[in-house]
Amino acid sequence: MGWNDWYTAYCGVNAQLVEQSAQAMVNDGMKAAGYQYVNIDDCWMAPSRDSAGNLVADPTRFPGGIKPVADYVHSLGLKLGIYEDAGTTTCAHLPGSYGHEAQDAASFAAWGVDYLKYDRCNIPFDQFPGQPEQQVQQTLATRMSDALKATGRPIVFSICTPDRGDDPWRWSAPIANLWRTTTDIQDNFGSMLVNFEGTVNLFADAGPGAWNDPDMLQIGNRGSTRLEYRTEFSLWAEMAAPLIASTNLAALSPGALAMYENTAVIAVDQDPWGKPGIPISSTGGLWVLSKELSGGDRSVVLFNSTVTAATIATSATAVGLPAAGAYRLQDLWSNSVTASRGAISAFVPAHGVVMYRVSTIDRRQARALPPHTMLSLAPAAAQLFTGRSTIVRETLTDDGPAPVKRVKLTFRAGRGWRIKRLGRARVERLAPGHRYTVAFRVTAPVAGPPFALAALSGGASWDPVNGWRATAAILGERVFAPVPPPYRTADLTSQPAAFGARDGAFAISARGTGVLQPWNAPPTGSYAAIYEPQRAGVSSTAQVTVTYDQAGGTAGGAGLIERDAMTAPAASPAGVVLFVNDAGTVVMSWNATGARNVDSRYAVQNAVVHEPVTLRLVRGGSTYTGYYSTDAGVTWSPVDTVTVAPGASAGDQDVGVFHASGLFTWTTTATFKDFSVR
């Protein structure tokens, strides 16, 4: 457990930041909660070694070198970490340890370093002819591991070889204490999900002293919701992953700090048995994980990676607990404690988790606890349209060993919604193991934006033996305005996309790995679009403002698309896309060769645009010029002028807007306004 500067300072790291962060960890309670390592990442070095070949710290940012920083950190009872690279240079092109392993390890030990993160950029593979990359990584990491051991100072060794095929979990345990399993994390739910999914199945490869590292925690960096950060912290703890906060500790909100200091969740992460949680199921993106804890408890995480709230349920037996009179469920985020006859269940919000510590108890102990209940909402339709109705079933389940009595179920929605209850709201007695359901007919307001998230909430109150209790469930129902003619929709993704339109404004909610990227095999592209057939003439201008785009990676994005035929990607590739991706980069891709996939790509690398961004695509025959504007069309920056495959796109083309989340496993929603074709 610790802190690392990378995601807050990048190459601006300096002694002051490191020392202030160490001080903050003491003052804000993180040290007391167990955070110990204060880690310096890349860029701490001067651009060259000294005349004796020793590494030197950057003289302006670390004026006294590393030793005084280590001394200061030690004086606070904390430990210092540093960064190097097995190659000739680090990822930021500063001197690497290749050929200097023993010398550098000796420097680290002399300075008082307690932890080394060892990266893998710029490795001279040509020095290892015929050797597979993984073997070279292993050889070089072993050199540094041996060099660290030879210093006699205990130094935690953290390997950073997250590239495809390196598979460090297969070879690192004998030489390292932790190894990165996945690529650099970003501060969004999709990236967190990728790193979780890339690590969770490696549970058998990790254990005490040798850990899977899905990369650093983003809590506090403000790119995700509180719920998503809570999910990250819970999943990392369940995987027994390192908890390394990579954020500006001085600017942490009380909420983010409380998350970092949830001692019940930390206890799961740091459990002495060191057993990573095991995925029990993951059907439809609804995950159940179980981690065996010392003393026989289990930590159970119910994780909803989908876009709508859902019931996730398992049983004590399924998660590996022995038969018992009853089970004690401690919710590690709400701190409520209930008794269950065996069901472990919750209604979990989209992108959220419920995390329980489950223990066996006897019947007598169970009688002293409130019964475990679950209130859930199940809509008949996964998405709703303005002015249309659906049925939402509200169910209270009694999973406890005692009945719940005098139950009343309520249901609410926002302004403009119509709700009709289709059954009795009250039930006198709900026996253990039973449930009561009331259906509601729910009608969305007639008018609305192309896309809105409506909070439909259910409530239950009842009177168990020892007083009234109440519980609530919130369903984020997705409401779309139906797409009217002349617009059409095209869905080339693996999961049904959802579309909304109103007055030239659009919303597309979709998965998809990207748009016609050159590396996709034909039929290319995995995206969803709203378009007008044959609307872009040989001399035309299409324009739209992307008002929101949260994609999962640089392959995803939202923008304009113009093609011969939108729904026939393999047969009719000629066309152009102009979009903004998750990194805020404006990208233009097109078909230059006449092959079946879009094969050319130009990105305005220095265009880091934040929505809204207006995109304009000007067509003159088979030549297209893209522009973007971040001031609503007052000033325009050119992207590129390109020519598509000769012979193609001689006539009118389909034109519209598209969105791809960047990933197969999650859905994001992009919204657009002021679409026009002239």
The residues binding ligand GLA (CB under 6 A) are: 6, 41-42, 90-92, 119, 160, 162, 184
- Comparison of 119 and 532: residue with beta carbon closer to ligand GLA: 119
CB of 17 to ligand GLA, least distance (A): 15
d(CA 450, CA 271): 48
- Comparison of 11 and 26: residue with beta carbon closer to ligand GLA: 11
- Comparison of 221 and 622: residue with beta carbon closer to ligand GLA: 221
CB of 125 to ligand GLA, least distance (A): 18
CB of 179 to ligand GLA, least distance (A): 12
Q: What stretch of H or E contains 412?
A: strand 404-412
d(CA 605, CA 626): 15
CB of 583 to ligand GLA, least distance (A): 14
184 catalytically annotated: yes
Q: Are 492 and 528 in contact (CB under 8 A)?
A: yes
CB of 601 to ligand GLA, least distance (A): 22
Helical pair 133-151 and 101-111, crossing angle rounded to 10 deg: 40
CB of 276 to ligand GLA, least distance (A): 21
Q: What stretch of H or E contains 590?
A: strand 586-590
- Comparison of 6 and 62: residue with beta carbon closer to ligand GLA: 6
CB of 163 to ligand GLA, least distance (A): 9
Catalytic residue among 5, 104, 114, 119: 119
Q: Are 517 and 589 in contact (CB under 8 A)?
A: yes
- Comparison of 5 and 640: residue with beta carbon closer to ligand GLA: 5
Query: Distance between the two ends of the chain, CA-based, in angstroms?
Result: 57
d(CA 97, CA 124): 12
Q: Which SS3 state, helix, strand or coil, does residue 126 take? A: helix
Q: Are 287 and 300 in contact (CB under 8 A)?
A: no
Which tokens hold the place of 571?
A: 């047969």
Give the HSE-up count for residue 266: Cα atoms under 13 Å, Cβ half-sphere.
18
114 catalytically annotated: no
Which tokens hold the place of 341?
A: 């006859």
CB of 636 to ligand GLA, least distance (A): 34
Helical pair 67-75 and 101-111, crossing angle rounded to 10 deg: 40
Angstrom CA distances, 503 to 7, 372, 444, stand at 40, 48, 19
**Which residues, including other chains, have CB under 8 Å from residue 94's CB and lie 6 or more apart?**
42, 43, 45, 46, 47
Catalytic residue among 167, 184, 331, 652: 184
- Comparison of 246 and 649: residue with beta carbon closer to ligand GLA: 246
Q: Which is nearest to 151 in space by CA: 201, 199, 202, 110? A: 110
d(CA 605, CA 429): 64
Q: Are 644 and 617 in contact (CB under 8 A)?
A: no
d(CA 444, CA 380): 14
- Comparison of 92 and 378: residue with beta carbon closer to ligand GLA: 92
Strand 310-315 versus strand 298-304 pairing type: unpaired
Q: Are 95 and 49 in contact (CB under 8 A)?
A: yes
- Comparison of 92 and 425: residue with beta carbon closer to ligand GLA: 92
- Comparison of 191 and 308: residue with beta carbon closer to ligand GLA: 191
Q: Which SS3 state, helix, strand or coil, does residue 195 take? A: helix
CB of 160 to ligand GLA, least distance (A): 5
Q: What stretch of H or E contains 604?
A: strand 600-604
Q: Which residues are catalytic?
A: 119, 184
